[in-house]
Structure 1
């Protein structure tokens, strides 16, 4: 996610006039790019669209379940007047700080009508698809407005920015990181701030955009702000731009003041909840050194690309969702060639813009490598600048490898600028143009995105789908599926999302997939700290482990159930985990040993937990 653009006015190299302001321009290029972007987005997500209820993103079922839960919570939020940034419907009784998670508040409210009509799974697939398409189209409009004259050049850059390998990788379940339309939209209005006598209007709009961006992708907004600062400071220090920057400074500061005030008002409560609310935490539940980019990854190909499909993909990423660079050697060579060519032909104003652009790319490439250099899976002894930043606020919650997403957008802008030069003045010789065309093809065709992989997931049991559960759990009571909801066993959390989307009576669940306190030295962790009972069922589900049940186990289970205030436990006919079906037989045997013989209700095995009655003696 990059912030790279020419300034609104460059005497030696003026910005491109918006096509909408030229009578001779047509809207057809816009429509063509929009259709192509949407078609590519549907292509990438088609596995979900073939069966939204039955298919799940194979490489990240946990995150998909979390976002589907949020979409269901959006309906509950509007229907019950709940807190958008804190809930005890999950991880009962202590709850979850949604402000400290990726709560996508704007999305869950905006798409609540669709969630009610079609379910969280349809809203999830819709947002994911529109995110990818909107990112490409918004970058196209941004490039067309500020940097390039040729629609084809803007389309090339926009489509690359929207469908770069890193964003296709994050299409494995991340509704926040695929929202790549936020940075160019924010940048659009940042670059309007110097316009005289419009600082109030522009500041208001930018403040709203900042609040929206924070609610959808706070980490991405941080990257955007950081890259904006690097670009603008670098460009403003260049000799040709220094005077113009000094003259525009009062207007820009006034606009930024309005932006800060508007965003501060809109974000006052979520920011309080994020940093000081209940169940908040510092840092992240992920190892930052692990989630740093390997320098070799910049030369490799992503798994979900044409090259990866042909067997040329690399395995240098921490996981399939974090392939944030993976540009391939040909594209790296092409990017360097673009740098040299554009520098050689740049006029003074454009030269300053290019220097700012290059600086952003270099800074974010370095940050993406994390605190210690990794070279083709080997961690070297070379310390990098991120080691000095890792404990600073905001940086301590970021995953370094994701800074490479900014590098992807820098490359997209370079491609657009180089293509624009080839298509405009001076017109290169036919031979040179053919060479460039071949270079673009060799670099970009292997990166053509392939659909994200999907797998089967357990169908919603009639016990949940038909509302039969309401006969066994009080309104607001605690009900849990087996195994308890975690990132690796997300069915219970997903099924709760579906009940929230239908409105009416609602139940709570223990555990769940989220980020919360409890990690070492006070940092965050993934999910709740397991108690003996949920850990016992998780081991049975994932490993088929069946252990003898003694009096101590029953006593611990009794205490755990009382802590959660569980009223009923159920086991569905099919249960899926992050790697496919789990050991259901082990779950049933463990539950029967602990709770006694189950009832068969609505297609599930049900154990009712009655207060005051020992639920854990076999045979009750």
Structure 2
């Protein structure tokens, strides 16, 4: 299974590295590529770095707030010994199953000191930047080790894998999906499983990796495992390497057994929580037919690519955070032509590897199209696709098909590295072909060069929260909420709780929030469909409707009685309205409508610091009429 460029034959020893320059030159090359990757990552995230506390990702403020909440919860976990996979701080009185969400527990613990000292805002942009840079750099190291001896070829492929349009799209909020470095590290270790006499060590290392990476990018790890398995099967069936694969099978199986025992033992509790713990559910609350990649998107350009500056961006994605392919016609053509050219010059063992890589990319491309074929925004229901057979299976039922295109993006990066190696080796005897492919690489990559992620101003943390004034109005571990109640489209309230947790000390709980949970409350089990946030009650819907639509209705005593019942259900002791509330994607929220609704429902507010506050007295009508 070796991909080593210096030994493409079937008998290649996986521990054999291609001829390398001197150590000093190699490390200088690594340093240069690392600095380039970091520079590009800072360029992409520069809008957040310019004001981490006042700027947010306008295309996905909700997910940013959720991950900032998780980072704050990491400090809370260490300080209070709380469960990293379940919390009762959100969604009072039921809590949230964090194992069934993207809990990034390893990150929250590792970055807890930075979060405590500087705040979740700083930790968030730091992780996002390091994820992007680390993904490109680790892919470079992987390609340099297993595929090509050329620094230039490996760097080009690595930069594309790290900054492909799909990963830039996910940089609009997703700390889990920007952790693209997980895939090459896992693949690296998978390729080492066949080393003779080292099955115990290699299996142990892979098991530890899987356990750690599960809490960073569980869905990405699942896709990496599928891609690895498909690659190994296709490669093993190739005639030139079949004997080599058979000889290594025993060692690989023993290593995999060790991996299963180690990873299974370490992940026993989080897996139990994910599949059978409280507040579990099936699916994600997202429609898989909607979150499928339009086939035309592969030929289009993303909204955060250089092509978009010239009006060539596409709106075929469900949102700007899920533009997962978007290679454009030039890059698609270049990839196909490059694959043919590399294939023609490959030795038999090398062809086995290339075939497995291309089959993996093709299969994941088709799976990314989802249960039904889509073209230019139109679904063709008469054309069911392979994903329809997988959609109801465990794990697949919680996967969004279009994200499978990220595997195809990495295959494109590998092909780019391969064809660049051919150029560097001077294997194109015709000067016209050499110059043509070199020019085609430039023409294909320029349109997909990333633009920085979009940002906007977001509401500053109220002094009422920052100064701890809230503690005078809520009992220990009492329930407090901002208005409107936290949701993905207006998540400020969840941020206020995140910043409070990050400081340590006393903490309040809150109803609602932005998370994934079961469709209904009080009934446990994965047979329940998933949904975004808590089931809405009449009272929190009043405030959400007022905030988003500016809708103010004339309230009746029945509405106030319902509010009394809802507040008792949540155990709310006080609600508050800051001077400013933030909506995602520059959404204008109607603060005055929220204030009018709250005053009509609860009576005149108190002015406390920089917020309006309403105290909730149990058993008493919200307003004396």
Q: Which moved more, 1:578-587 or 1:55-64?
A: 578-587
Deviations 1:437-470 (A, max 9, x none): 1100110011110000001111111000111101
Q: CA–CA distance in 2 between the matches of 1:224 and 1:24? A: 33
Corresponding residue of 2:532: 526
C-alpha deviation, 1:9, in angstroms: 6.9
Corresponding residue of 1:143: 143
Corresponding residue of 2:468: 467
Q: CA–CA distance in 1 between the matches of 2:562 and 2:612? A: 22
C-alpha deviation, 1:284, in angstroms: 1.4
Report SS of the residue matched to 2:161.
helix
Q: How does 1:304-343 map to 2 (within 5 A)?
A: 304-343=304-343
C-alpha deviation, 1:610, in angstroms: 2.3
Report SS of the residue matched to 1:216.
coil
Corresponding residue of 1:599: 606
Q: CA–CA distance in 1 between the matches of 2:26 and 2:457? A: 45
Corresponding residue of 1:549: 555
C-alpha deviation, 1:23, in angstroms: 4.8
- Residue 102 (structure 2) pairs with residue 99 (structure 1): no
Corresponding residue of 1:47: 47
Corresponding residue of 2:225: 225
Deviations 1:307-362 (A, max 9, x none): 01221101111110010000000000000001110110010110000110111011
Q: CA–CA distance in 2 between the matches of 1:315 and 1:614? A: 49
Deviations 1:31-70 (A, max 9, x none): 1110000000001001111111111100101000000000
Q: Which moved more, 1:448-457 or 1:416-425?
A: 416-425
C-alpha deviation, 1:7, in angstroms: 10
Structure 2 portions without partners, runs of 5+: 521-525
Q: CA–CA distance in 2 between the matches of 1:428 and 1:79? A: 65
CA shift in 2, pair 1:215/1:86, >3 Å: same
Corresponding residue of 2:486: 485
Corresponding residue of 1:434: 435
Report SS of the residue matched to 1:288.
coil
Q: Is contact 2:72–2:120 with CA below 8 Å preserved after alignment?
A: yes
CA shift in 2, pair 1:5/1:588, >3 Å: farther
TM-score (norm 2): 0.96
Q: Is contact 1:90–1:508 with CA below 8 Å preserved after alignment?
A: yes
Q: CA–CA distance in 2 between the matches of 1:249 and 1:382? A: 39
Corresponding residue of 1:409: 410
Q: CA–CA distance in 2 between the matches of 1:350 and 1:266? A: 37
Q: Is contact 2:120–2:502 with CA below 8 Å preserved after alignment?
A: yes
Q: CA–CA distance in 1 between the matches of 2:170 and 2:436? A: 33
C-alpha deviation, 1:283, in angstroms: 1.2
Q: CA–CA distance in 1 between the matches of 2:371 and 2:557? A: 49
Q: CA–CA distance in 1 between the matches of 2:550 and 2:370? A: 38
Corresponding residue of 1:500: 501
Q: How does 1:68-147 map to 2 (within 5 A)?
A: 68-147=68-147
C-alpha deviation, 1:22, in angstroms: 5.5
Q: Is contact 1:19–1:145 with CA below 8 Å preserved after alignment?
A: no
- Residue 561 (structure 2) pairs with residue 563 (structure 1): no
Q: CA–CA distance in 1 between the matches of 2:148 and 2:19? A: 11
Q: Is contact 2:11–2:244 with CA below 8 Å preserved after alignment?
A: no
The equivalent position to 1:615 in structure 2, one of 614, 619, 622, is 622
Q: Which moved more, 1:416-425 or 1:145-154?
A: 416-425
Q: Is contact 2:87–2:95 with CA below 8 Å preserved after alignment?
A: yes
CA shift in 2, pair 1:557/1:8, >3 Å: farther
Q: Is contact 1:554–1:617 with CA below 8 Å preserved after alignment?
A: no
Report SS of the residue matched to 1:522.
coil
CA shift in 2, pair 1:364/1:268, >3 Å: same
Q: Is contact 1:422–1:428 with CA below 8 Å preserved after alignment?
A: no
Q: CA RMSD in A?
A: 1.8
Report SS of the residue matched to 1:581.
coil
CA shift in 2, pair 1:19/1:65, >3 Å: farther
Q: CA–CA distance in 1 between the matches of 2:49 and 2:22? A: 39
Q: CA–CA distance in 2 between the matches of 1:49 and 1:473? A: 34
CA shift in 2, pair 1:352/1:24, >3 Å: farther
C-alpha deviation, 1:21, in angstroms: 8.9
Corresponding residue of 1:169: 169
Corresponding residue of 1:184: 184
Q: Is contact 2:10–2:241 with CA below 8 Å preserved after alignment?
A: no
CA shift in 2, pair 1:54/1:304, >3 Å: same
C-alpha deviation, 1:581, in angstroms: 3.5
CA shift in 2, pair 1:591/1:350, >3 Å: same
Corresponding residue of 1:11: 9
Q: Which moved more, 1:23-32 or 1:331-340?
A: 23-32
Corresponding residue of 2:425: 424
Q: CA–CA distance in 1 between the matches of 2:405 and 2:200? A: 34
Q: CA–CA distance in 2 between the matches of 1:489 and 1:521? A: 29
- Residue 538 (structure 2) pairs with residue 537 (structure 1): no
C-alpha deviation, 1:609, in angstroms: 1.2
Corresponding residue of 2:516: 515
Q: Is contact 2:18–2:149 with CA below 8 Å preserved after alignment?
A: no
Q: CA–CA distance in 2 between the matches of 1:32 and 1:24? A: 12
Corresponding residue of 1:396: 397
Deviations 1:399-421 (A, max 9, x none): 00011000000000000011001
Report SS of the residue matched to 1:284.
coil
Q: Is contact 1:157–1:412 with CA below 8 Å preserved after alignment?
A: yes
Q: How does 1:152-301 map to 2 (within 5 A)?
A: 152-301=152-301
Q: Is contact 1:186–1:209 with CA below 8 Å preserved after alignment?
A: yes
Deviations 1:472-494 (A, max 9, x none): 11121000000000111100001
How many residues were matched structurally? Answer: 616
Q: CA–CA distance in 2 between the matches of 1:605 and 1:192? A: 61
Q: CA–CA distance in 2 between the matches of 1:161 and 1:521? A: 37
Structure 1 portions without partners, runs of 5+: none
Q: Is contact 1:12–1:348 with CA below 8 Å preserved after alignment?
A: yes
Report SS of the residue matched to 1:606.
strand
